[in-house]
C-alpha cells in the first residue's frame, strides 16, 4: 500500500470511513481523532471530536497540525488515529499513516 505524502505546513483532508465487525458501513454515535509522529511518538494533536458523524467524515488537518518534528529528516510519518462508537456498546478504531515532506525554507505554521 502506498503512503500519501503532503508538504509540511499545508492543509490535508483525510476521509475517514466507518465499518462494523462484518465490514458493513456504520454511522458512529461518537468519535474522536488524534495525530502523532511515528518515530518520536510525539503527540501533535490530542483527542479531538470528529467534526460530524456519518458513514464517511472528512477530517481536515490544518497547517499547524502538519509540522516537521525533527528538521534533520527529509520526511516524517505521522499517524491519524480514529476511534468511534456505534451500535449498542460497540467500538472501532483505525489509523491512517501519511508522510509529511520537509521543505527547506518553509517556516512552521503559527499555532
- The answer to whether residue 109 sits within a structural domain is no
pLDDT of residue 109 exceeding 70, the answer is no
- The answer to whether residue 108 sits within a structural domain is no
| Number of domains the chain is built from | 1
Number of CB atoms found within 10 A of residue 31's CB: 24
Instruction: Give the CATH number of the domain where residue 79 resides.
Output: 2.60.40
- The answer to whether residue 46 sits within a structural domain is yes
Domain span at 26: 5-101
- The answer to whether residue 107 sits within a structural domain is no
Give the global pTM: 0.90
Model pLDDT for residues 5-63, shown as the tens digit of each residue: 999 999 999 999 999 999 999 999 999 999 999 999 999 999 999 999 999 999 999 99
Amino acid at each position: 500500500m502506498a503512503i500519501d505524502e503532503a508538504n509540511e505546513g499545508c492543509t490535508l483532508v483525510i476521509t475517514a470511513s466507518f465499518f462494523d465487525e462484518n465490514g458493513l458501513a456504520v454511522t458512529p454515535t461518537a468519535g474522536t481523532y488524534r495525530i502523532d509522529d511515528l518515530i518520536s511518538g510525539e503527540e501533535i494533536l490530542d483527542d479531538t471530536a470528529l467534526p460530524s458523524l456519518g458513514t464517511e467524515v472528512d477530517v481536515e488537518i490544518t497547517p499547524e497540525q502538519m509540522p516537521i518534528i525533527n528538521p534533520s529528516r527529509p520526511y516524517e510519518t505521522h499517524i491519524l488515529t480514529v476511534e468511534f462508537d456505534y451500535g449498542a456498546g460497540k467500538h472501532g478504531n483505525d489509523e491512517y499513516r501519511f508522510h509529511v515532506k520537509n521543505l527547506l525554507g518553509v517556516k512552521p505554521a503559527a499555532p
